[in-house]
């Protein structure tokens, strides 16, 4: 929808300029506002302007007292197996948004994620810092490569997609939809890859925690070289249990 509206505005401005050349400042201002709005929406992970965006679980999952734990950027051979052990200890399920390069390097960990009853989802093949600037062809190639890879490893292609750092552009939604994926962001995140204080990460995740929340963590080391998720996750799961909530994968929540 965002692409169609943008195209319509550009056409309207072009026609308007042909009919009234003197109005070019107004047409230019309209185009600048359009691109500013699209750029701002792309930088806001919770925005719905660029297409459907799951930021909370459906009402049925909320009524069941479910929350969804999601982990980005793995699998990591040092961190992911330990995350899986913690989840198993607490009887929790989660969804792992894998980077294709990591999945290709550690297929056994991907299979272990699935064997333990968790979901494996799409987080792009290369996790490029330039992902937000990709055009349709590059997006389709990057996301589609991982769909194919994970489909072979898991026996079925992923159902959900999350963009690197949650940054999108207007071309992404048609590509994601065309590949049969649903776009997911999050309700709350702990910034566990940049924040050195486990207490701060835990507070961000649990302040106002409620049924229907989608929580974002990472199954990799932080920029400081430690895996703060391994400290935070048991405390988070204890808090989830104490409040009567249940951690499920995204696919479980959508049933």
User: Quick one: pLDDT at residue 18?
Assistant: 55
Listed range (32-36, 153-157, 225-229) with the worst mean pLDDT: 32-36
How far the first Cα of the chain sits from its last, in Å, is 27
The predicted model gives 224-250 an average pLDDT of 96
Under a CB-based contact definition with an 8 Å cutoff, are residues 227 and 79 in contact? yes
Q: Give the pTM.
A: 0.86
pLDDT tens, residue by residue, 160-208? 999 998 889 989 999 999 999 999 999 999 999 998 789 999 999 999 9
Query: In this predicted model, what pLDDT tens digit does every residue of 62-95 receive, in sequence order?
Result: 999 999 999 999 999 999 999 999 999 999 999 9
| CB hemisphere CA count around 28 (13 angstroms) | 5
Q: Please report the pLDDT score of residue 224 as a whole number.
A: 86
Residue 148 has pLDDT above 50, yes or no: yes
State residue 58's pLDDT score.
Answer: 97
pLDDT at 5: 56
Q: Please report which confidence band the pLDDT of residue 251 belongs to, taking 50, 70 and 90 as the band edges.
A: very high
CA 87 remoteness from chain centre: 20
pLDDT band at residue 255 using 50, 70 and 90 as cut-offs: confident
Q: Which of 72, 173, 213, 219 is catalytic?
A: 72
How many Cβ atoms sit within 10 Å of the Cβ of residue 108?
Answer: 12
CA 52 from chain centre, in angstroms, equals 13
Q: State mean pLDDT over 211-228.
A: 94
pLDDT by residue (tens digit) across 10-67? 554 556 545 666 655 544 544 445 444 544 544 557 788 889 999 999 999 999 999 9
> Is 73 an active-site residue?
no
The pLDDT value recorded for residue 34 is: 46
Four-point Cα dihedral 61, 83, 208, 56, nearest 10: -40
219-233 burial: b if 16+ Cβ within 10 Å, else e: bbbbeeeebbbbebb
213 by DSSP, 3-state: which?
strand
Catalytic site includes residue 226? no
> Which of these is catalytic: 118, 123, 127, 218?
218
Q: What is the pLDDT of residue 35?
A: 46
Query: Torsions phi, psi of 97, nearest 5?
Result: -90, 100
- pLDDT at position 31, please? 44
9 pLDDT more than 70: no
Average pLDDT score over residue span 87-108 = 98
Annotate 155-185 with DSSP letters as a single string.
SS--SEE--GGG---TTHHHHHHHTT-EEB-
């Amino acid at each position: 929808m965002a692409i169609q509206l943008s195209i319509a505005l550009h056409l309207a401005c072009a026609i308007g300029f042909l009919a009234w050349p003197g109005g070019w400042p107004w047409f230019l201002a309209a185009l600048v506002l359009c691109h500013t709005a699209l750029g701002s929406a792309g930088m806001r992970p919770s925005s719905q302007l660029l297409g459907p965006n799951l930021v909370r679980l459906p009402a049925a999952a909320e009524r069941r007292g479910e929350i969804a734990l999601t982990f980005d950027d793995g699998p990591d051979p040092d961190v992911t197996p330990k995350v899986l052990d913690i989840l198993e200890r607490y009887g929790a399920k989660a969804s792992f948004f894998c980077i294709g390069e990591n999945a290709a390097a550690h297929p056994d960990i991907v299979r272990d994620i699935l064997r333990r009853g968790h979901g494996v989802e799409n987080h792009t093949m290369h996790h490029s810092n330039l992902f937000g600037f990709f055009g349709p062809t590059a997006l389709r190639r990057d996301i589609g490569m991982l769909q194919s890879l994970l489909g072979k490893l898991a026996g079925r292609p992923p159902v959900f997609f999350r963009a690197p750092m949650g940054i999108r552009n207007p071309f992404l939604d048609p590509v994601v939809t065309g590949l049969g994926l649903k776009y997911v962001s999050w309700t709350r995140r702990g910034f566990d890859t940049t924040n050195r204080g486990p207490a701060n990460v835990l507070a961000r995740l649990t302040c106002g925690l409620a049924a229907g929340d989608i929580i974002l963590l990472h199954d990799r080391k932080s920029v400081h070289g430690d895996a703060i998720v391994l400290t935070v996750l048991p405390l988070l799961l204890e808090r989830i249990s104490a409040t009567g909530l249940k951690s499920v994968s995204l696919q479980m929540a959508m049933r």
